[in-house]
Amino acid sequence: MERVGFIGLGRMGRPMASNLQRKGFQLSVLDISPAPVAELVALGATAAKDLADLVANSDIIVTMLPTSVEVLGTITGAGGALDHARAGQLVLDMSTIEPEATLKMAKAAADKGVAVVDAPVGRLATHADRGESLFMVGAAEEDLERVRPLLDAMGTTVLHCGPVGTGVAMKLVNNYICVVSCQMNAEALALSQRFGLDLDKTLAVLNGTTAYNGQLQLNWVNKTLAGDTSAGFTIDLAHKDLSLALAAANAARVPLPVGAAAREAFSIARTGAYAGSDFSAMVDVLCDLAGIPKARISKAKE
């Protein structure tokens, strides 16, 4: 079994690394925060002394980081992983970044004899907790087969989208719909609050017609509508992903006017106290702006 080095133990990375450890992988971990590192060490993982130590003791280097800046800095920057890498290693990046950044990383890695696979994650943080994530993979066939045991340990669905870069491009398409529908849901439920409609009955109607969407039924009722605005996927990160999609669309000359409008709503929300809240809390932002009670299902009001 190949040795794995895991960099980035945030809300998604921590449970994924935990699942790898529980399923028998030889794992070393690295994060700027000591708490999740300690949690993984308690499960049996090794805390890397630094990036050089992690690379030296890994065959596959996994990254789950916030933006292209962190990914490129960690992999291709001065003193980054590629400065310590050896031919035959592989970088598995599960971050959501610009496709151009992925291709830049892949080119730099190839010059060192290192392969790159981009495998951003679908589904929610709670799915990551249970090892039920979906992966959108951009990779050469042989590289996909090399990382498949890791992906199978962290999720239930692996979709090969094409060569390197197509996984993260697919993630931008997926998250475009998720984030834009989040804004649509927030506006609709704020309007229902203004009308004085019963929220439980409103949800029954929306989930029983073609207005149905997965975010509303699977995520919202367990998050903000139940009074839990702790971050699974923050408003700040939703704004980031929507911005990535719009920038890529602009470069490809594809107009996304609905997405542009939604991003402005997220731009407003992220300037205040809601930036670190779950992105379903966009409904709270609108209710606050309208001066109406927050939307909560009946069991959350008891």
Question: Annotated catalytic, 49?
Answer: no
Number of other CB atoms surrounding residue 201 within 10 Å: 11
CA distances from residue 10 to 200, 216, 223 in whole angstroms, order as listed: 33, 24, 19
Closest CA to 62 of 139, 118, 134, 102: 118
Region label for 30, one of left (φ > 0), alpha (ψ between -120 and 50) or beta (otherwise): beta
Catalytic option among 171, 223, 240, 294: 171
Which residues have a catalytic role annotated?
171
